[in-house]
Structure 1
Amino acid sequence: MNKEFEGLWRDTLEPWLAGLEAERKGSVTQFLVWTIGGVLLGLAIAAYFFTRGGDIFFLPVGLVFGGVAGVLIGGRRLERLRKSVKCELNTKIAEVCQLSYALKPSTPARFETFRGYGLLPSYTRCAFEDHFSGERLGCDFELYEAHLKQRRSNGKSSHYVTVFRGVLLRINFPRKVEGVTVITRDMGVFNGLGALGRSFGSKKLERIALVDPRFEKAFEVYGTDQVLARYMLDPAFMERLLKLETALKGKNVRAAFDEHSGQGELLIAAETGNLFEAGSMFKPLADEARVTTLVSEMLLVTEIIENLVKPPELGESG
């Protein structure tokens, strides 16, 4: 960490976290007591019915349901502490980065647009958290995390599986955006089928051929205008988008240039997993590694945005 973050840790965050250590230990103890008690109670009830002629099936059922009940009841205090620590750490670190932070977005920015352009999979349940907003190089932006689940059924039972967990990013792009340009993942032999259904509202999106073989291997591009799409996807931007996937340590980055906001925006979705967490509550709170991880993730966000919106530099492609 640089001196500014070191000062934040030494003067503010470390003494604050140290003051919460007794609460953490009490919360962990309560969680363990309820969890173990729930398991024992579940086993006792199951054993009671088993000794009176019940099926042995009651034993594992009692174990599971007792344990789950204990975790849910005993974990409420620990969960409140986790959210409090996470919110305070992210808020203070964001302030140093000249950003604003909220535990959840009041409105998930352009979420329906992400869906409309096919940048997100279909889902049954959705949840949002960790909303950051601010400005870099004269461009305002919003970033938040989305967790999408889809209900799956085999005819006898159903369950939910995660189909997307990562970040959604909206940036007011510095160059004028005209039309719509959508950048999706390459689907190999299925690219032709994907092209048949690409549209937004009344506008048909046609496939855009690009000259960069590395970009073509990773992405498929569709747009309302061939010339405008190539203008937005200049060689320098394509190179930066390729580097973005590595920088985020995620996968399946996809994006869109959208004129419909009135200002022109760049929308990016990336499967990064769950970021911006405060770490385990089963370890001492006053651990500098918690803050170091959050600082690195937040600086990565600001660096990504600056790299995407800054003008092409000498030595970049094109």
Structure 2
Amino acid sequence: MPMITVPDVDTLMAGDLGTWLTGQDQARKDAKSRAAKWWIAGAVIGLPFLLGLAIEGFLGQLFALIGMGIMAICAGKGAMIRQAVVTSLKTQMNTTLARTLGISYSAAASIGEEFELACRFDLLPSYTRKTCQDLWQGDLGGTRFNLYEATLIERRGSGKNARDVTVFSGVILKMHFARDFHGVTLIERQRMRLALFGDSQTKDGIRLERVKMVDPRFEKAFDVYGSDGVEARYLVHPAYCERLIALEDKFEGKKLKALFHRGDVIVTMESDDLFESGSLDPRRDRELLARTIEQFRAMADMITSLNERPRG
């Protein structure tokens, strides 16, 4: 399979991107200044209303609520001004990186069919509403893929006790596998389990039996379940353990799961915001871009490993 060459940060910063970023210094300063003005205005206008807390009864509570509302609106407006510039910077930096790899990047994203499949096989938890962002897609080294970040929120409780809980915040990655397979194989981080009457799972109506792996490193780190044990051992060779762990490390993630299903591989992993290359501090440009590049390199390495035929 062709090697995937990921550019280094010095190459990108020495080109048009570096020149463009230098030209954004004034926009960053303006965003900081405008946001600060909104925050100050919120404090100046809103704080006097908080004196209403000293007044007993409904009128005092009303004044306090008005003051908090004013401060919240002004704080939100300031944050939006800053975020708009950060998003513009991030989009330009990530688009430049994507262009060098011959793929595409978009700050906006839409959820694909892999999302529903991940839900059916419990790679993702149940949720009430969802959002997604930062879509990367295209062809890396002959492998079609798409990756985006998703946040799933579940509404729990009712009435006054109702609250929103973030049940998943991380990445969803789909790749088209180079080798044919017909069964279903599920990989997940090892967990405590009871196996008094056998160790199996039923997902989307398909019974998946625990598959013992030959490599002790993989067996210690991950559990593997499959509808066809022979095929699962063929698909999952020892290099995956190292690549999956490396991907978790670079993405600063946890609870990684992978599903082999009808020619595709779907990976989900909880993580903080990824590919956040934009900042209002120009001194952080190189650092954040380098971090994004390393995250992409880890993904490229995993794609290469997944589509290699096992040796030996």
TM-score range, shorter chain: 0.7 to 0.9
Q: Which runs of 5+ in 2 are unaligned?
A: 1-5
CA distance in 1 between partners of 2:147 and 2:197 (Å):
32
Which residue does 2:292 correspond to in 1? 294
Which residue does 1:284 correspond to in 2? 282
**Distance change (3 Å), C-alpha of 1:27 and 1:165:** same
Report the Cα offset of residue 53 of structure 1.
Answer: 6.4
- Give the AA of the match of 1:41: I
Q: Which one of the candidate residues 55, 73, 82 is aligned to 2:86? A: 82
1:112 equivalent in alignment to 2:147? no
Which residue does 1:35 correspond to in 2? 39
Report the Cα offset of residue 88 of structure 1.
Answer: 0.9
For normalisation by structure 2, the TM-score amounts to 0.84
Deviations 1:189-209 (A, max 9, x none): 3467996652224x3333333
Which residue does 2:271 correspond to in 1? 272
**Distance change (3 Å), C-alpha of 1:55 and 1:219:** farther
- Give the AA of the match of 1:92: T
Secondary structure in 2 matching 1:267: strand
Secondary structure in 2 matching 1:198: strand
1:95 equivalent in alignment to 2:93? no
Q: Which runs of 5+ in 1 are unaligned?
A: none
CA distance in 2 between partners of 1:114 and 1:70 (Å):
39
Which residue does 2:249 correspond to in 1? 246
CA distance in 1 between partners of 2:198 and 2:71 (Å):
46
Count of equivalent residues: 307
Secondary structure in 2 matching 1:310: coil
Deviations 1:40-64 (A, max 9, x none): 3222223257458668766875564
CA distance in 1 between partners of 2:265 and 2:215 (Å):
20
Deviations 1:257-314 (A, max 9, x none): 101xxxx011111222211113432x2378433432332233332223223223345x
For normalisation by structure 1, the TM-score amounts to 0.83
**Distance change (3 Å), C-alpha of 1:170 and 1:299:** same
CA distance in 2 between partners of 1:161 and 1:19 (Å):
41
Percent of residue pairs bearing the same amino acid type? 34
Between stretches 303-312 and 111-120, larger displacement belongs to: 303-312
Secondary structure in 2 matching 1:103: strand
Q: How does 1:126-165 map to 2 (within 5 A)?
A: 126-153=130-157, 156-165=160-169
Query: What RMSD over aligned residues (CA atoms) do the two structures have, in Å?
Result: 3.1
CA distance in 1 between partners of 2:17 and 2:26 (Å):
16
